[in-house]
Chains A and B, each alone.
Chain A
Amino acid sequence: ILNVEQSPQSLHVQEGDSTNFTCSFPSSNFYALHWYRWETAKSPEALFVMTLNGDEKKKGRISATLNTKEGYSYLYIKGSQPEDSATYLCALWYDMRFGAGTRLTVKP
């Protein structure tokens, strides 16, 4: 993997469903991975900065894991709510490369 790739591109879930999506990145020369949430008409908002292999971070119903050896991070949302609807971006640090994002829509 040469670029930062996110999958799926978009996701529609029902309120209350749990969901997860993936950020894949080149595993060589890893420094840090950032996750951001970007709601429509707002600025991207930082969720997590992850640096260590095996890191797990949690903020409310959202959590993330990191595997630097195989080059991926998962973002999990437990019990999705309509207000979770946003585009979720990951960014590989050192060279500030963003993925294209996963657009999540939570239907009430």
Chain B
Amino acid sequence: GAGVSQTPSNKVTEKGKYVELRCDPISGHTALYWYRQSLGQGPEFLIYFQGTGAADDSGLPNDRFFAVRPEGSVSTLKIQRTERGDSAVYLCASSIDWGDEQYFGPGTRLTVT
């Protein structure tokens, strides 16, 4: 079946602009996770959804970052007033339920110039 998909695969934006990154999880997976990965580091947790609600958003670095999952499937990560330090690969993963093995998408490479 279809895996986790993320769009766009690459995004280049100017400092100060707003961006949206989309994640389409595996159908039926209730848990959805967003991570950010910088070169040489492991994925850094940002936010986790259980269904439609953000069960844990403790990893969001500041209030410029926000994510939604309005119908419990597709999720959008939104970044306002982007900064060069936001440049990273943003990974999305889903699992049947919290704690189960995660299935990752291919990531969105965000570059802020």
A→B interface (CB under 8 Å)? 4, 6, 31-32, 34, 36, 42-46, 49, 89, 91, 93, 95-101
A95 near B3 (CB under 8 angstroms)?
no
* A98 with B106: CB separation less than 8 A: no
A32, B99: Cβ atoms closer than 8 Å: yes
Contacting pair B43 A89 (CB below 8 A):
yes
Residues of B within 8 A of A98 (CB): 35, 42-45
A-B pairs, 10 with minimum CB distance: A98-B42, A46-B101, A43-B104, A96-B45, A44-B104, A100-B42, A98-B43, A49-B101, A99-B42, A43-B106
Q: Which residue of B lies closest to A9 (CB)?
A: B40
* Residues on the B chain within 8 Å of A31, using CB: 99
Interface size on B, residues (CB 8 A): 23
Which B residues between 81 and 113 are near A, CB-CB below 8 angstroms?
A: 91, 93, 99-107
B residues contacting A by CB (< 8 A) are 3-4, 33, 35, 40-45, 48, 59, 91, 93, 99-107
In the complex, which residues of chain B have a beta carbon less than 8 angstroms from the beta carbon of A97? Answer: 45
A-B contact pairs, 17 of them (CB 8 A): A4-B42, A42-B106, A44-B43, A44-B91, A44-B93, A44-B102, A46-B101, A49-B99, A49-B100, A49-B101, A89-B42, A89-B43, A96-B45, A96-B48, A98-B43, A99-B42, A100-B40
Closest CB of chain A to B8's CB: distance in Å? 16
> When the two chains form the complex, which single residue of B42, B91, B99 contacts A93, counting CB atoms closer than 8 Å?
B99
User: What residues of B have a CB within 8 angstroms of the CB of A43 in the complex?
Assistant: 3-4, 91, 103-107
Minimum CB–CB distance from A106 to chain B (whole Å) comes to 21
For residue B30, give the distance in angstroms from its CB to the closest CB of chain A.
16
Given pairs A96-B48, A96-B59, 16 additional interface contacts (CB within 8 A): A6-B42, A34-B101, A43-B3, A43-B4, A43-B107, A44-B43, A44-B93, A44-B102, A44-B104, A46-B102, A49-B100, A96-B33, A96-B35, A98-B43, A99-B42, A100-B41
